[in-house]
Amino acid sequence: MSNVRHRSSDVQKINIFKNYTGIIWVMDSFPVIFIIFKIAVLGTGMFFAVKWHYDQDRKARKGDVLTAVGKISAILALLLVGLLFATFKLASLLGLDMQLAQ
């Protein structure tokens, strides 16, 4: 009789171990499943983002894009000259010698 109890407790321990290993498998496989899902979702999103931008680019006329690039370049050049002038003015107010060597 004691053997039967011992065997049933062993069976219970084995069943608990099987359940425990199942939990471990789920915990170990979660990062793999999550990373695969993440790659699939982000890949799909990137595909549709690139497709949307490509379609928008095809709709835009070339002349409009060149005009916008020209305007932005001119504004940035003017801002750069203004920043350079402001830097020299601030340096001269602080007493720094910013004259070019002759």
If asked whether residues 37 and 66 sit together in one domain, one would say: no
CA 55/CA 20 separation, integer angstroms? 52
If asked whether residues 36 and 80 sit together in one domain, one would say: no
If asked whether residues 69 and 38 sit together in one domain, one would say: no
If asked whether residues 72 and 97 sit together in one domain, one would say: yes
The string of pLDDT tens digits covering residues 6-20 is: 566 666 666 666 666
Q: Which domain holds residue 71?
A: 62-102
Closest-CA residue to 88 (of 80, 76, 96, 77): 96
- Segments in the chain below pLDDT 50: 1-2, 4
Count of structural domains within the chain = 2
pLDDT of residue 11: 60
The string of pLDDT tens digits covering residues 26-39 is: 677 778 888 899 99
If asked whether residues 87 and 99 sit together in one domain, one would say: yes
CA 17/CA 22 separation, integer angstroms? 8
If asked whether residues 16 and 43 sit together in one domain, one would say: yes
If asked whether residues 74 and 48 sit together in one domain, one would say: no
pLDDT of residue 1: 47
pLDDT of residue 74: 93
pLDDT of residue 18: 61
Tokens of 91: 């340096």
If asked whether residues 54 and 70 sit together in one domain, one would say: no
